[in-house]
Structure 1
């Protein structure tokens, strides 16, 4: 059913149709509308049986989700920015215990200085926490990825983070297709936990592991992520067959077949990049776009295949590894034999415009682009500050 709806509310409706049994909530912008909408659905009796737990912190939210999942309940929560960092210890526990929790991350910058607008610094900081990370390009894909996330998480017994750009998607009202409860029920079967805490048959989980076995534990976690590279596209294919639209998967290429230059990006900025590429294509420029949906596990083979024969690669990133540069570009280097150009763009919510992208891509095609570029950097400001601080 097509409806005009805010992105957060669309995600809440999709999560509700997946029938979570425990939802843990602590408010932090810009994810708050998601859990607010879910609280209304629980309070009204529309989402039942489900326990909505108001907690005192993001750490508590993830801790409750861990406890719920370990006792056999389908668990969900949402967070953003500093909230994600506050639950970092528990994130590693969730993945280390193999608990299929689904969490929305409404991507937002990390302070200091305080900034509530969108970039990918929060999720990127947790890229090695053992969670699968899926990035949505649009609100429709955000909705679709949540439905797929429960299938992926419970197939692999791994937690899944669905990342959607804060405000850009969460607060945008647009037309999306909300599937019926019956169709979602057919795609997301009842949760059957791999491990279950039962007072009648007590066991310990998360016990200490010494040096004699810790490497093997981490190797097994790595192996499960490698298996996810097979499961994620399988679930996306089943989703397309059931819901009648392609969504999710590992990567999504756009006008790459004959492109000499390919731009790689994640999230909602892909829409602006594609519009710019369309204009340049009309002008005879050989350029394409590769959107990465699954950032963890990183799809090295799929990226390498998409970039085969490409002369130059530009990686557009909405996060910065201070002192190094690009985060996504570091992975791309392992998938492509060339040296990609890294462009840091849109930090703290700065708009990424077609005007700026056209100039950037013109420099790239002419091989004038530096290995590391900061899009729309106010050089006079930073140079003045550098002079002031010596």
Structure 2
């Protein structure tokens, strides 16, 4: 029986960390993720966990400490946002290259400049090719559930990669929602004991971590990293299946909402999915066959599965809460279009950049996207595929 509670997204993550009881947490405060290590440090101070809490002088140092701890054989966690994630940049690549399954809560916030503390996805999208598994969360419940699953995913013997659990800054991180928690012993049993095969403090197997790699080896190391990311897709589904048996809450690589017979569809990430679902429900009552696909797993990118879910649509909109500054659209749209090529490459696809710097997206905004899609469906084609939603121009 789950525990009914009312918690913010940040509290939910901190509580998940408490229930897991990691060996090490190293963190530096940055809005809007500051509350996660703040709440967790209280659990440390009150003796609720056995964790070694390491307050550091910067986010670069936080990830460096996480790398050292995880390489030594300790289950390690952290949290950050925006500029903090950017300051970790060098170390993100090192963590993944060293195959260290660190779990990080990324509370999405606009990446400077200009300086902005509100939500968009420019931070985690910028890190999309750093070798971290990325899982996104629509609600506080999903953030909690994803974090617990993320630990097991990253530590799986065929994966051994760091995992980034993302949620929208302030929108879910600070908003209080009803949530169903697992019992402490259920969480501990689910994630299991961390039992690394190779680690620095193993006196029976002296190893080096992070040595110089020359052209004779680097290519093969990167290929092995890539294989771990490929393996992660199957592991994510296996872990989700076990989680469903335990909690009754079902997760996949994405959520297909009323897509079975849909003619018009949108692809969206994180909390905006809740707003979009309300619009889909309204349109369905009007007899309009609308649907949506909410991305849960962005890395590894489930291209074949997404293409299969979207291939029967007559018009599609991809909504990016990040601007890649490529001149042709956002990062999610590029991935979706690539996935559809050769399977539904004649489908009209339009990309909307929206919500940058925390700009509100309302049901009226989502309705406009579906209105545009209806026009596109009638014409059977689209010219201006790169658009902005809610821009004052």
TM-score where L is the length of structure 2: 0.94
Q: Pick from 265, 268, 289: which aligns with 2:268?
A: 265
Deviations 1:86-129 (A, max 9, x none): 00000000000000100001000011111000000000000000
SS of residue matched to 2:165: strand
SS of residue matched to 1:3: strand
Aligned match of 1:149 = 150
Aligned match of 1:169 = 172
- Taking the aligned partners of 1:94 and 1:194, their CA distance within structure 2 comes to 17
Aligned match of 2:335 = 331
Q: Pick from 6, 12, 15: which aligns with 2:14?
A: 12
Aligned match of 1:316 = 319
What is the Cα-based RMSD across aligned positions, in Å? 1.2
Q: Pick from 345, 348, 361: which aligns with 1:352?
A: 361
- Taking the aligned partners of 1:323 and 1:231, their CA distance within structure 2 comes to 33
Aligned match of 1:372 = 386
Deviations 1:5-30 (A, max 9, x none): 12211110011111211001200000
Deviations 1:114-153 (A, max 9, x none): 1000000000000000000000010000000000000001
* Post-superposition offset of 1:339: 4.6
Deviations 1:163-190 (A, max 9, x none): 0100001000111011111111221100
* Post-superposition offset of 1:262: 1.3
TM-score where L is the length of structure 1: 0.95
- Taking the aligned partners of 1:328 and 1:110, their CA distance within structure 2 comes to 17
Q: Which moved more, 1:363-372 or 1:224-233?
A: 363-372
SS of residue matched to 1:366: helix
For structure 1, the 5+ residue unaligned runs are: 380-390
- Taking the aligned partners of 2:201 and 2:188, their CA distance within structure 1 comes to 27
Q: How many residues align?
A: 377
Aligned match of 1:24 = 26
2:234 matches 1:234: no
Aligned match of 1:40 = 42
- Judge conservation of contact 1:105–1:123 (CA < 8 Å) in 2: yes
Q: Where in structure 1 do 4 or more consecutive aligned residues deviate above 6 Å? A: none
Aligned match of 1:194 = 197
Q: Which moved more, 1:91-100 or 1:300-309?
A: 300-309
- Judge conservation of contact 2:320–2:332 (CA < 8 Å) in 1: yes
- Judge conservation of contact 1:26–1:79 (CA < 8 Å) in 2: yes
Q: Pick from 223, 228, 235: which aligns with 2:227?
A: 223
- Judge conservation of contact 1:7–1:171 (CA < 8 Å) in 2: yes
Q: Which moved more, 1:193-202 or 1:333-342?
A: 193-202
* Post-superposition offset of 1:44: 0.3
